[in-house]
Amino acid sequence: MSQSTTVPPVSNPGQTKSPKTRALPRRKASGGHGEDSGAPAPLWVKIVIAVLCLSWILPVFGLAVTSLRDRTDAAASGWWTIFTSPSQLSRLTVENYVEVFDRAPMAQAFVNSLAITIPATIIPILIAAFAAYAFTFMEFPFRNLLLVLIVALLVVPNQVAFAPILNIYGQLGLNGQFAAVWGAHIGFGMALAIYLIRNYMATLPREIIESAKIDGATHFQTFWKLIIPMSTPALASFAIFQFLWVWNDLLVALIFLGPGPRQPLTIALVSLLGQQGQGDQLLTAGAFFTMVLPILVFLSLQRYFVRGLTAGSVKG
């Protein structure tokens, strides 16, 4: 009597073997917190965000409107009256901007501000990125102690260093030169740059560094080809901070440059106001002119801002 052989069923490659192995639907990226980031925000969050946005936009809008009004209208009523009295729209003028450029060398001051701000932003980023890489991925004596000392410098007021730095610059003949302002801003911003970038680099996977080391990459190759591209959010965050600080700085520029052919926009803006208070109608036009470039820089880099600041806040 012949035995019947049971033939196992042939599985279809395009068919799922078992319901248990069916792939679960993907969840949207949530930043590692296990929650669906696609969920709508609560109403109170939207209200708070709307209030914060209005509190930032309204002063800028008011400054722009006031810069287009003559001194009589600006002194008689607030800028919001253009909505209640539409006839005032016909009296808006650009005479304030014309007079600003006539009374102060704003074009040259704008170039001077760029000459001060760009090197004072790029140089500390480059130096701090090298230092942050060393503190994160290299072993050397007293590494943690040096990092603590650098972080401790954040609590030291910059004003206590003005007198000795001014004496040193005077002996070197640097007072009144762009190099004096570069050195001051680079030194004052270096501690925060190292701290911010190092915290971000600490969140990067070390497996990448080990793989690069196995492939024979040097520290410089690893730093320049891997770490720098991955650290773009942190670099952009500090670039925003440093650019705004240097661009809007008045105290350091007054101490190390002063009024003259190398004065930045902040000093040129102060010179518009006379000793008796005359020329106050020009301050709004000059102030709005100085705000345009920082706003553009922030809007172009704001997508990296939160990522660069929050990375390393939990671990690192």
State which CATH number among 2.40.10.10, 1.10.10.10, 1.10.3720.10, 3.10.20.310 fits the domain covering 95-310.
1.10.3720.10
Separation between Cα atoms, residue 292 and residue 285, nearest integer Å: 11
- The answer for residues whose C-beta is within 8 angstroms of residue 134's C-beta and 6 or more apart is 140, 143
- 106-137 and 95-103 are packed helices; what angle lies between their axes, rounded to 10 degrees? 80
Q: Are 93 and 99 in contact (CB under 8 A)?
A: no
Segments in the chain below pLDDT 50? 1-36, 275-276, 312-316
Separation between Cα atoms, residue 186 and residue 294, nearest integer Å: 19
Instruction: Output the pLDDT for position 306.
Output: 63
Instruction: Output the pLDDT for position 38.
Output: 60
Q: Where are the CATH 1.10.3720.10 domain residues in the chain?
A: 95-310
Instruction: Output the pLDDT for position 115.
Output: 94
- Name the DSSP letter for residue 232: H
Nearest to 193 by CA among 315, 308, 42: 308
Segment 209-225, tens digit of pLDDT: 888 888 888 888 888 88
CA atoms within 13 A on the CB side of 56: 6
Instruction: Output the pLDDT for position 125.
Output: 92
CA 84 to chain centre: 38
